[in-house]
Structures are given as C-alpha cells and as structure tokens.
C-alpha cells in the first residue's frame, strides 16, 4: 500500500468533505421538510437529485483509488466531469425556480433559511460545486491520488454508506409523498401514500359494516 503525502492527503480528505458536505446540505433540506413541516415541490426534489449526482463524482474517485491498476489522472477527470455535468443540470433547475419567484411581492415557495429560500441556497451550492470542480481540475497535477489500497478505509466506507443512506431516505420520502401517482403535484400539501392508505382502510371498514348489516 502506498502512503499518501502532502497535497495528496489533503485532496483525499477534501473528496470526503465534498461528498459529506453535499449529503449535509440534502439532510438540511430533510430537516426543513420534517421539522419545518414543508413538503418539497417537484423542482426541490430534482435539485436534491442533481446534488446527489454531483456527489457521485468524488465518490467515484475515492472508490477508484482502492482499485489496482486504475489511472488516477483519468479517474480524477471522469469524477469531476460527472460533478460538473450534474451541477450544470442542478443550476438550470434551481435557476428556473429562482426565476419563477423573481417578480416583486412574490412570497416565494416555502420558508426561508438565513434569509434565503432553499432553491436560492441550492443555486449557490451548485455554483460552489462548479467552482470547486473547476479549481480541482486546474490543480489536478498536485491533487492526483494514487493510493491503490487493497481495501477501502473506514472513512471511505462510511462516506459511501452516508451517501447511500441519504439517497435511500430520499427514495422513501418521495414515494410516501407521491403515493401511487406517477408525478408529484406542483404544490404538494400532504403525503399521498398515507392518505391513500387511510382511504383504503376507511373503504374496507365501510364494506365490512355493510356486509355485517346485510347478514344481520
């Protein structure tokens, strides 16, 4: 196993910070959803998707560093290329939502966090991701990682697990929110799956009472 030194160690740690930072932002959105009781709109969900896709790039580089014979320079380019593509997509989604509420006296969608709406924060996050990816690619000469460790380290495994869990939690949350309908409504007001389940239970109980009345 080759040991990391200098900038390589810093850049390896920064890749973990990158992934965990994006996961932290999505968890913040979760906190607003559950603690603030604000349901995310379809565009908010799309922004979460783009953020998590942007985090896949650095996670790809972290994983590739543990594979023998991988070309670390091309891995770095591939990983940050993925991040840049996802960030451009996220920037256009959050940009559209900012433009939807740009007119004067528009209250915007949802509450504010530190004076800005969540989609405005998402816009800032995507610009930060683009800047970080671009600067890392410019500095790739001193940031190329070639560890080739047999097994990924605990921190790398933990980071992958956190990313996986955040994606899973989003999948469950969106499924509960959309229920059995294909698309989310523009302004969701309730968790559709819970409502559908309640309706199903009510219909079942009314059918049973009807049958018991007929039998008596």
Partner 1 sequence: MIAAIIFILMLVLVFMLRRPKIKMTLVFFAISMVCVTLLFLHHASDKLGLSF
- Which residues of this protein are in contact with partner 1, per CB under 8 A? 42-43, 45-46, 49-50, 52-53, 56, 59-60, 63-64, 67, 70, 78, 82, 85-86, 89, 92-93, 96, 160, 163-164, 167-168, 170-172, 174-175, 178-184, 186
Q: How far is the CB of 50 from partner 1 (least distance, A)?
A: 6
Q: Closer to partner 1 at the Cβ: 7 or 140?
A: 140
Q: How far is the CB of 22 from partner 1 (least distance, A)?
A: 13
Listed in sequence order, the residues at least 6 apart from 58 whose beta carbon sits closer than 8 Å to its beta carbon are 15, 16, 18, 19, 79, 80, 83
Q: How far is the CB of 13 from partner 1 (least distance, A)?
A: 19
Q: How far is the CB of 108 from partner 1 (least distance, A)?
A: 17
Q: Closer to partner 1 at the Cβ: 95 or 134?
A: 95
Q: How far is the CB of 16 from partner 1 (least distance, A)?
A: 14
Q: Are 150 and 69 in contact (CB under 8 A)?
A: no
Structure tokens at 14: 């920064």
Q: End-to-end CA distance of the chain, in Å?
A: 79
Q: Closer to partner 1 at the Cβ: 6 or 150?
A: 150
Q: Closer to partner 1 at the Cβ: 95 or 108?
A: 95
Q: Closer to partner 1 at the Cβ: 136 or 178?
A: 178
Measured CA to CA, the distance from residue 79 to residue 63 in angstroms comes to 10
Listed in sequence order, the residues at least 6 apart from 48 whose beta carbon sits closer than 8 Å to its beta carbon are 26, 29, 40, 170
88 CB neighbour count, 10 Å cutoff: 15
Q: Closer to partner 1 at the Cβ: 33 or 70?
A: 70
Q: How far is the CB of 92 from partner 1 (least distance, A)?
A: 8
Q: Are 55 and 85 in contact (CB under 8 A)?
A: no
Angle at 14 between CA 8 and CA 15, to 5 degrees: 95
């Amino acid at each position: 196993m080759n040991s990391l030194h200098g900038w390589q160690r810093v850049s390896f740690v920064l890749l973990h910070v990158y992934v965990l930072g994006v996961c932290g932002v999505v968890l913040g959105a979760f906190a607003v959803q559950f603690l603030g009781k604000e349901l995310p709109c379809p565009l908010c969900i799309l922004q979460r998707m783009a953020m998590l896709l942007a985090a896949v790039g650095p996670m790809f580089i972290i994983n590739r560093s543990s594979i023998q014979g991988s070309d670390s320079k091309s891995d770095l380019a591939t990983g940050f290329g993925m991040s840049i593509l996802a960030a451009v997509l996220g920037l256009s989604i959050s940009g559209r939502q900012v433009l939807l509420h740009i007119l004067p006296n528009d209250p915007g969608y949802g509450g504010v966090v530190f004076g800005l709406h969540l989609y405005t924060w998402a816009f800032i996050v995507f610009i930060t991701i683009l800047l970080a990816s671009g600067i890392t690619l410019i500095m790739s000469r001193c940031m190329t990682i070639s560890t080739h460790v047999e097994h990924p380290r605990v921190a790398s495994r933990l980071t992958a697990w956190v990313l996986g869990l955040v994606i899973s939690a989003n999948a469950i949350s969106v499924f509960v929110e959309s229920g059995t309908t294909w698309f989310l409504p523009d302004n969701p007001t309730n968790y559709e799956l819970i409502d559908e389940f309640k309706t199903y239970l009510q219909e079942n109980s009314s059918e049973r009472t009807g049958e018991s009345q007929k039998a008596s």
